[in-house]
Amino acid sequence: MAGQPRESAIAFDQARKFLAVSPRSEATQNREMDVEVWLARAQARTVNADEAFNRLNAMESAVQKISSEYVVLDYYGAVSEIAWRLHRLPEARTP
């Protein structure tokens, strides 16, 4: 993703569409959440960091239900990264 946020956003959008038609399972839900986190990161670098930050904050309750600690850690890392970029660290939530 480094250096190519637009291409990354396209790839993650394709992954989102693929997962939407995949059989529903806990693993699929974890991957969907992971894709959304990475889409927000790409969005923050190319389009609108404020929108990406708000999008991640709106996902927080869903993230708390995810079984994958990796996805949860990645989510909070993305929130912190984008909040830092926006100078909004006090608004970044912690688990």
pTM for this predicted structure? 0.77
Q: In sequence order, which residues have a C-beta less than 8 Å from that of residue 19 and are 6 or more positions away?
A: 28, 31, 32, 35
Band (73; pLDDT cuts 50, 70, 90): very high
CA count, 13 A, side-chain hemisphere, 36: 24
> How sure is the predictor about 93, in pLDDT bands with cuts at 50, 70 and 90?
low
Separation of CA 6 from chain center: 15
Give the C-alpha separation, 57 to 91, whole Å. Answer: 9
The 10s digit of each residue's pLDDT in 9-65 is 677 777 778 777 778 888 888 888 888 898 888 888 887 899 999 989 999 999 988
Looking at per-residue pLDDT, the higher value among 10 and 5 belongs to: 10
- The per-residue pLDDT for 78 is 93
Q: What is the pLDDT of residue 76?
A: 92
The pLDDT assigned to 42 comes to 85
Residue-wise DSSP of 3-31:
T-HHHHHHHHHHHHHHHHTSPP-HHHHHH
Instruction: Give the amino acid at 94.
Output: T
